[in-house]
Amino acid sequence: MNIKELDKKYVLPTYARADVEFVSGDNARLVDSEGKKYIDFASGIAVVSVGHANKRVNNAICKQLSNLTHTSNLYYIAPQARVAKKIVEASGYDMKCFFANSGAEANEGAIKIARKFGERDGEIKRYKVITLQHSFHGRTITTVKATGQEKMHNYFGPYPDGFVYADNIEHVASLVDDHTCAVMLELVQGEGGVEPLDKVAVQKLAKFLKSKSVLLMIDEVQTGVYRTGKFLASNYYEIEPDVVTLAKGLGGGVPIGVVMTTLKELFSAGDHGSTFGGNFLSTTAACEVMDILSEMDENRELQKGIDYFDSELEKFYAAHKDIFTSKVGIGMMCGLRVRDADTLNKIVSNAREEGAIVLKAGRDTLRLLPALTITKEEVDEGFESLNRAVSSL
């Protein structure tokens, strides 16, 4: 059997897979099993932050694997402690970290922090968590319910109680009551359409929540680790959250999740845990990713790359305003609104045929999430392919 036949026979059909099998990559380039080459403007859905087959990350992983891969969190793990320091210092917040394996697990940890916080203080048990319509926080039973998209709630109930959905950022404050323990937000909604929240509204809400002793939890699973140009989108919005979650780009392709919080003594031994979370493999990879991206940030290479990609995206958008209605996003988390869903599907398919990998977000947004290490040459090639894809509509 070939790979496609094996997949069809043995793998559950939870993904609408494109008819392509990638076999190798180099930074923002991919090669499929037929030898066809592509420019990757998706980076594994914002995961391969420092590019495919990054030599520094690979060397660090290989060196670590020759010693230890895993011992469990019952013992000290040196790269875990080191990367926690790097993350906290890069954030600029006075926090501690818990390590998991994914964004959904990080958000589960955040919700557990909120619930313990809400039960610990005061006579009334506070358990409600407010999220936004069109949000996306994961695919576990709890994070699906935290996700404010009704279509995500089909089939899998009954769900945990206590999740409330605000129509928009301005609506959140009116939903806060005596039972509210936290508000969880994506500052740029990824699956919801690459939609940045209004900065002033977010800052106003942050002050209001602090006055009410309600936690502000920011889901930075997609926006974190320099995706918006700052280490955290929270830094860009100039707020100080109580809880932040990270995943995707932190491991450079190795699964990892982090929940970090200012409530540094809230959890006690046994309150939370993970067998694999923060093991030698994942945190070694994350240490190297953090070093690479912090160096790029310090020498302005990161911002130069963002500026160049944005300028080329602006040219592409301006040349095709008959198809695209607006340009959205922040940093290397970009989107173009498309006139209708059918056209969007054709663009994604055509782009792949022309050698560019792009994504959809929501019903009407073309989503671009390139590696943060993408070169000018790769950017140029990618937009050449996209121009051909759109011109052939």
Per-residue pLDDT of the chain (393 residues; tens, 9 = 90+): 899 999 999 999 999 999 999 999 999 999 999 999 999 999 999 999 999 999 999 999 999 999 999 999 999 999 999 999 999 999 999 999 999 999 999 999 999 999 999 987 667 789 999 999 999 999 999 999 999 998 889 899 899 999 999 999 999 999 999 999 999 999 999 888 898 999 999 999 999 999 999 999 999 999 999 999 999 999 999 999 999 999 999 999 999 999 999 999 999 999 999 999 999 999 999 999 999 999 999 999 999 999 999 999 999 999 999 999 999 999 999 999 999 999 999 999 999 999 999 999 988 999 999 999 999 999 999 999 999 999 988
What the block records as the tokens of 42 is 């998706």
DSSP 8-state class, residue 241? -
Rounded to whole angstroms, the Cα distance separating 101 from 29 reads 26
For the chain, give every domain's residue range.
3-54+300-391, 68-298
Say whether 68-298 and 3-54+300-391 share the same fold. no
Predicted model pTM: 0.96
Contacts of 46 (CB under 8 A, 6+ apart): 190, 222, 227, 248, 249, 333, 369
Helix (H, G, I), strand (E, B) or coil at 240: coil
Helix (H, G, I), strand (E, B) or coil at 26: strand
- 142 φ, ψ (degrees, to nearest 5): -70, -45
Q: Which CATH number fits domain 3-54+300-391: 3.40.50.2300, 3.90.1150.10, 3.40.50.300, 1.20.1250.20?
A: 3.90.1150.10
Is the domain defined by 68-298 classed in CATH 3.40.640.10? yes
